[in-house]
Amino acid sequence: MAEPGAGTRLIGEEVWRQGDLIVSQPLAGVLGQALADHNAGQGSADRIERIAILATPPDLDAGEITDKGYVNQRRVLANRAALVDLLYADPAPRGIITPAPIGLTSSGLQLFDSCASRRERPLVYVSIT
């Protein structure tokens, strides 16, 4: 579940859980702007086209966290395959965030793409600064 108050600190209003995703138009706007900023000047291999905010963190008991505290991407992708499929649905369904139109900017967000291959490892970490 999302950290209580995290949405309020970032966008000024609370965010809500819808199934396995956090869905909020204001949050989608902020993150869409951050995606657009990240993608500006990136080559096609470094672009991030879609993200989803999961309602639950990686599950230690399900093997989604390694003994050293890292995300076990293979296990996360296997356990959450239906959510990964949402990232590739066309058009993007509700809850899937796409880059904002060019010209919008974000502040305080940095995106870190951990993807070596887009289909194999579509995990992106967001750092709120």
81-125 pLDDT, tens digit per residue, is 999 999 999 998 988 999 986 544 444 444 444 444 444 444 444
pLDDT for position 7: 56
Tracing tokens 């995106």 back to the chain, one arrives at 111
Half-sphere exposure of 14 (CA within 13 A, CB side): 7
Q: Is residue 124 part of a domain?
A: yes
* Domain-embedded: residue 102: yes
**Residue 71 structural domain:** 6-128
In a domain, 58, yes or no: yes
Residues listed for the chain: 129
Phi-psi region of 5 (alpha: psi -120 to 50; beta: other; left: phi over 0): left
Q: Is residue 1 part of a domain?
A: no
pLDDT at 11: 63
Given a cut of 70, is residue 42 above it in pLDDT? yes
CB 32 within 8 A of CB 99: yes
Number of domains in the chain: 1
**Residue 93 falls within a domain, yes or no?**
yes
pLDDT of residue 100: 82
